[in-house]
Amino acid sequence: MSPRILTVPLSRRGLLGGGAALLAGCAHKPSPMRLAPGLPGSPVAPVTGPSVGYQGPVPVRAHERLWDVEKAMAGPTGLQSAPLVIVGGGLSGLALAWRLRDLKPVLIEHESRVGGHSQGQDWDGLAFSVGAAYFAQAPAGSLLSREFYRPLGLHRAWRVAGPEDTVMQGGKAVASFWEGTTDPAAAPDFTRVADHFRQVSEEAYPDMPPGEWQVLNSEQLAALDRQSFREALVAATGPLHPHVEALLQYYCYSSLGGTLDEISAAAGYNFYCAEMEGNCTLPGGNSRVAERLLAELLASGVDVRTERTVVRVRLGDNAVAVTVAGGEQPLVINADRVVMACPKFACARVVYDLPVEQAEAMRRIKYRAYLVANVLIDAPGPSETMGMYLLDPPSDGFTDFVVAEWAAGGHPSRSVLTLYRALPTDGGRASVFDDASFEVQRAAFMAQVQPLMSSLGIGGAPIYDLRIQRWGHALPLAARGLVADGTLALARRPVDGRVFFCNQDDWALPALETCLVRALEVEAEVRERIAAR
């Protein structure tokens, strides 16, 4: 395809031009990325022994505080003031706090660790992701590289994977999927779809959030958003080969939380075109991005408070009152401005002065759950591959996996396989909410683990642990029509120039890039309001 050098805002695509230079520049073994142990609130937790249940957030605590505010606020209430409060310590909140660190914001996170879905664990030096594991490539001159990756030093530690074209079929790895190797007689059915993705990437890529460089105007983007991913693909390429359909279906499950028929074509192309360009990954996955941001914030003197839940945000005449449960005592912070860097379902409950139509728009956004299981293996693993999708997983099984040590160039004595199983239905979260579901889910993962290990050449290696992370509201569903009908634009609209919104669900795209681009946009909005005061 014709290369183009992009030097303006990017979303998921990350790279069209300059690919050879980027790959050459990142071909070396990445530098270690280590921080001082015991970083308060670090998104990377140490493995201290075998697990006995679900890892990660405990949903009951936040639910109890949000559902019974009066009980959560019982007792004497403290009073503070701050120029800016950021609610939510996921990537969006961390990135925005870093961009606005000169304003000395107070960042509040209800969990004990920041990072949101970009968290990880460390097994005696082998770091692995328990959530998001990689992000799209970005050339040195691109916006995100200039404003985030290089200032944070991430480019020195990441490893670049070219377009992943290997799948697991029948327990065997099959390379060159898009050349039709899983069904050679039908190879044109594969290459036709692959060529279509390349054409979209060159000529009609749906950049979301839109930047200075964009191919589609708002009407074209809306028209694409009104179609399902399946409808657009079939209209452009004809009926999908069963293997192509399976791969894209599982990709939509894992990356976007829905089916080919639910996901909008705009979102589907936005993600999968980037996937075909290649990805960057760090030891520990995206938790290392969160960790670097946290380290920068703490070094800058930013007030980061964990294990506290914002239960009410209310506009007053002279300040925005932020009511906080947890900590030594309940607290009200009177802030000049507040940024809600948390999901919209929480915003709709917490922000008391939302216009009715805006609250309704927030409630129209759906969220899907998923599970991440990490298999800790006491033997070297297949560090030559980053990971792959399965064409024929069982209905209750994982659909794709990542080899954790690949990002660091391998490990001499250990391996971790990170397995992803989305729950792409509205009732999926309920199926794992009860802690008693852990053993059922563990058995389902283990049923696939041994065959997978055998296919990767490590069958029979001793397993130290299988650790399952439960994510209940992780994936905002990129449903068709949310962009076209204005739902997302209305949901993220600032309130009274004092309450702003910054989260991946601003565009219903669960991606690191969405978080970072939105942080840049909201930074500009906040600074503009301050300058106009």
* DSSP state, residue 145: I
Is the CB of residue 203 less than 8 Å from the CB of residue 220? no
Copy the structure tokens of residue 132.
Answer: 């998001």
Domains and CATH numbers, the chain: 55-119+287-365+479-532 (3.50.50.60)
Residue pair 72/311 in contact by the 8 Å Cβ criterion: yes
Nearest-Å Rg of the Cα atoms of the chain is 22
DSSP conformational letter for 413:
S
DSSP structure class, residue 308: E
End-to-end CA distance of the chain: 49
Cα separation, 194 vs 179, in Å, equals 8
Backbone angles phi, psi at 473, to 5 degrees: -125, 35
Q: Are strands 303-305 and 106-108 parallel, antiparallel or unpaired?
A: parallel
The SS3 of residue 136 is strand
pLDDT at residue 530, rounded to an integer:
92
Whole-number pLDDT of residue 37: 53
SS3 at position 44:
strand
Query: What are the residue ranges in the chain where pLDDT is below 70?
Result: 1-38, 60-61, 212-213
**Alpha helices, H only, 356-436:** 356-363, 428-433
Identify the pLDDT of residue 241: 98
pLDDT of residue 210: 83
Alpha carbon distances (Å) from 89 to 72, 94, 95, 153, 343? 20, 6, 9, 21, 11
C-alpha atoms less than 13 angstroms from C-alpha of 393 in its C-beta half-sphere = 29
CB-CB neighbours of 89 under 10 Å: 30
pLDDT of residue 35: 52
The answer to whether the CB of 463 falls within 8 A of the CB of 378 is yes
| 161: three-class secondary structure by DSSP | strand
What is the C-alpha separation between 253 and 232, in angstroms, rounded?
18
Amino acid at 217: N
According to the model, what pLDDT value does residue 32 have?
56
Q: Is 481 helix (H, G, I), strand (E, B) or coil?
A: coil
